[in-house]
Amino acid sequence: MKYIFISLLFITCISVTYVYGGDDCFRKIGKAKAALLEAIDTLQRTNRLLGETGSAIPSNKVAFHARLTPYVTLGSAQTVIFDHVITNIGKAYNQHTGHFTAPFNGIYVFACTFLQTRGTGVHLQMVNNSSEISKGYGTSGSGEAGVMTAVIYLQKGDVVKVRHYPGKGSQTIHGHWSFFTGYLL
Ligand SMILES: *[C@@H]1O[C@H](CO)[C@@H](O)[C@H](O)[C@H]1NC(C)=O
Ligand SMILES: *[C@@H]1O[C@H](CO)[C@@H](O)[C@H](O)[C@H]1NC(C)=O
């Protein structure tokens, strides 16, 4: 690339010399060439830096996706801890507690897909602190799945989690086939 620029500069000089008979053009080439090489070098370094930061995820992004791996027999209002993190941009989801804690005020989208084990079915509830924002039921047929979704404005520090529906006795949720997802809109 830099050779094309330098060649162009030479061609311009030759043209200027031919047309106007000026010869200090060639004296200026040395200076111009040095300035040009420096500018190209700066551009290349800037480009590398932009490339590095351009591929990083901006710090205001929040998105998580996690899978439940064990089968869990849930007691009343027990939190479902989706233990296997697939995505956790912004680290707002905690795979040890099952809590998503909003890092900023904003509109968030949540979803949960889950499978019951044969027999009892499974009732779940999605809550913001303790207020219900969604609920779902995987019926007791064979391999019936349940779904919950919510769109909600959260204040920084509000906690969203999935828990067993209060008062439903003990029910088992299927490992590997249950996921919890959320992101800042
Ligand atoms: C979420 O929970 C917090 C804390 O309980 C509450 O102040 C806020 O109003 C709730 N937001 C919604 C939209 O339910
Ligand atoms: C919401 O729940 C979290 C975690 O349980 C708690 O730290 C926070 O104080 C609660 N916020 C409100 C407004 O109740």
Per-residue pLDDT reduced to its tens digit, 84-132: 999 999 999 999 999 999 999 999 999 999 998 877 799 999 999 989 9
Distance 109 CA to ligand 1 centre (A): 15
Least trusted range by pLDDT, from 5-14, 35-44, 127-136? 5-14
Give the Å distances, CA to CA, from 157 to 103, 129, 133, 178: 6, 10, 16, 25
pLDDT bin (cut points 50, 70, 90) of residue 43 is low
| The predicted structure's pLDDT at residue 125 | 97
Q: In what order do the strands lie in the sheet with 100-101?
A: 100-101, 159-164, 122-128, 131-138
Q: Which of 142, 126, 120 is nearest to 73 (CA)?
A: 120
Give the range among 55-69, 76-90, 97-111 with minimum mean pLDDT: 55-69
SS3 52: helix
pTM metric for this prediction: 0.71
Which ligand 2 atom lies nearest to the CA of residue 158?
Answer: 1
Q: For residue 47, what pLDDT is reported?
A: 52
* pLDDT of 45 over the 70 cut: no
- Beta carbon of 155 within 6 Å of any ligand 2 atom: no
Beta-sheet pairing, 171-173 with 72-74: antiparallel
More confident residue, 62 or 119: 62
Least confident span in 30-39, 123-132, 140-149, 169-178: 30-39
Q: Are 65 and 183 in contact (CB under 8 A)?
A: no
Mutate to test the pocket of ligand 2, among 93, 97, 129 (most ligand atoms within 8 A of CB): 129
| pLDDT in the model for residue 6 | 46
Pocket of ligand 1 contains residue 134 by CB under 6 Å: no
- The per-residue pLDDT for 13 is 46
Question: What is residue 61's predicted lDDT score, i.e. its pLDDT?
Answer: 94
Range 153-157 average pLDDT: 97
Altogether, the residues listed in the chain come to a count of 185
**CA-nearest residue, atom 2 of ligand 2:** 129
Task: List the single range of 29-38, 149-158, 165-174 with lowest mean pLDDT.
Answer: 29-38
Whether the CB of 116 sits within 6 Å of ligand 1:
no
Retrieve residue 58's tokens: 């901006």
